[in-house]
Amino acid sequence: MTHEEMKRNYHFNNPIIQTNYTADPAPMVYNGRLYLYTSHDEDGSTWFTMNDWRCYSTADMVNWTDHGAVMHFRQFHWARGDAWAGQCVERNGKFYFYVPISKKGGWNAVGVAVADSPTGPFWDPLGHPLVETNTGDIDPTVFIDDDGQAYLYWGNPYLWYVKLNEDMISYDQEVGVVQVSLTPEGFGKRVSDDPKRPTLYEEGPWFYKRGGLYYMVYAASGIPENIAYATSPSPTGPWTYRGIIMPTQGTSFTNHPGVCDFKGRSYFFYHNGALPGGGGFTRSVCVEEFTYNPDGTFPTINMTTSGVSPVANLDPYIRQEAETIAWSYGVRTEPCSRGGMNVCRIDDGDYIKVRSVDFGTGAAAFSACVASVKDGGAMELRLDRPDGELIGVLDVPNTRDETNWQLCRTSVSRAFGVHDLFFVFRGKGEAKEELFKFDFWQFDPIE
């Protein structure tokens, strides 16, 4: 997709994040929200240049709030880089984030970080790796079974697991580190002369349980990858190969699954290279809704640009973060001087789409928190498309400092019912770039 195609295709909903390159999606449902942890490909990468982990969350599956970088590899003093695919899980009010990192003077190892909130801050409770085998210790996946026993799987080209202790930062030393037997019956047969890779299993395992059946979903079949899966009646096998879920598609030679249920629906997360400048080292996370077959098997799932439908409408009459976005063009996000995140790099003609906004019986006014060191600009409020019905225009003044935030207000009209809302940004005079910053917004209802 080119920049012009991205601007024109405002009806697209995949990839779900457009303000950064993201990869390796790891969904976690907690307290009525779905939190999505991703790795982060740096702009212009020509290798897996990844320094931090990002978090996004949603209550409706279509509008994603950017929580920024929740952890950097430097928070592990023993690490030298490579913030690759991880997964977070909650237990007893704590959040445990399992991540692979390259060690100083060594190769990959799996570390664990802990937080009191799903969005951090995370810290390293061990000061050293949780586990390592020196055989490609990447892509950890974690699951807590119904009996309270937690399991951590990981690895490329081998698949390993440990039984985590209740503290979630150590593992059962008597059982130790267990290597899974990768057989064609369990993980599919690969046509390969490499004795290390007799099966389709490649990397990126995603382990979970549904209806008494355990699933191991994984990146498969070599480069370029597809997504396959196996099932088992127990958390440690024996595994039975079930087939390919997502065929090789898109412009990324890797893929990585993440599967979850949320508000009664099932979702399959993956990544591709669909954004402008995208590819195998500049990837983007996407999501599809699916329905399991009656016997618990997966249907075939293909990549789409349409994405998923909302599971709820967004309330415009409470504060909404500017970085809560369904689709956008041109803008980026950054840490805000007030805390949290804000939208930045706003140029003339850029826009943000927010899906399924329920105006009810009507809106009377609109407010937004903005900051500008230039002449400011304007924010057009439009319905359903970037050139759709204009319901209001907010003037953004020069606030004389990019940390001097000002709440601006304007009247609106003809905003009724449920619509997609577009913020279309305009410059003043000759000002066309870096117009202002945008923190949050809210409508007032007709009384």
If you average pLDDT over residues 23-49, what whole number do you get? 97
Strands ordered across the beta sheet of 389-396: 327-329, 351-358, 418-426, 377-383, 389-396
pLDDT reported for residue 129: 98
Residue 272 has pLDDT above 90, yes or no: yes
If you average pLDDT over residues 246-266, what whole number do you get? 97
Q: Which CATH superfamily is domain 3-290 in?
A: Glycosyl hydrolase domain; family 43 (2.115.10.20)
Percent of the chain with pLDDT over 90: 96
If you average pLDDT over residues 81-106, what whole number do you get? 97
pLDDT reported for residue 390: 98
Residue 399 has pLDDT above 80, yes or no: yes
**For residue 373, what pLDDT band results from cuts at 50, 70 and 90?**
confident
- Cα separations in angstroms, 415 against 136, 316, 352: 55, 11, 17
The tokens describing 34, both together, are: 């779905």
- Cα separations in angstroms, 13 against 62, 308, 425: 8, 8, 20
Select the CATH number that applies to the domain covering 320-445 from these four: 2.60.120.260, 2.30.110.10, 3.40.50.620, 3.90.1150.10.
2.60.120.260
pLDDT reported for residue 49: 95
Q: What is the mean pLDDT of the chain?
A: 97
pLDDT reported for residue 429: 80
pLDDT reported for residue 195: 83
- The residues, any chain, with a CB within 8 Å of residue 345's CB and separated by 6 or more, are 330, 331, 332, 434
Distance CA 213, CA 229 (A): 12
If you average pLDDT over residues 286-307, what whole number do you get? 98
Residue 447 has pLDDT above 90, yes or no: no
Helices (H), 118-160: none
Contacts 24+ apart (CB under 8 A), 37-41: 37/70, 37/86, 37/87, 37/88, 37/97, 38/285, 39/83, 39/84, 39/85, 39/86, 40/69, 40/83, 41/281, 41/282, 41/283
**For residue 376, what pLDDT band results from cuts at 50, 70 and 90?**
confident
pLDDT reported for residue 193: 77
Residues serving a catalytic function are 24, 202
- The residues, any chain, with a CB within 8 Å of residue 177's CB and separated by 6 or more, are 131, 133, 160, 161, 162, 171
Q: What is the pLDDT of residues 193-209, one digit of tens each?
A: 788 899 999 999 999 99
Compute the C-alpha angle 72/75/77, nearest 5°: 130
pLDDT reported for residue 375: 81
pLDDT reported for residue 41: 97
pLDDT reported for residue 6: 94
pLDDT reported for residue 239: 98
Q: What residue has token string 């439009």?
A: 382
CB 396 within 8 A of CB 377: yes
Which amino acid would we find at residue 435? L
**For residue 167, what pLDDT band results from cuts at 50, 70 and 90?**
very high
Q: What residue has token string 């012009």?
A: 4
Percent of the chain with pLDDT over 70: 100
**For residue 135, what pLDDT band results from cuts at 50, 70 and 90?**
very high
Spans of all domains in the chain: 3-290, 320-445
CB 419 within 8 A of CB 357: yes
Distance CA 9, CA 21 (A): 18
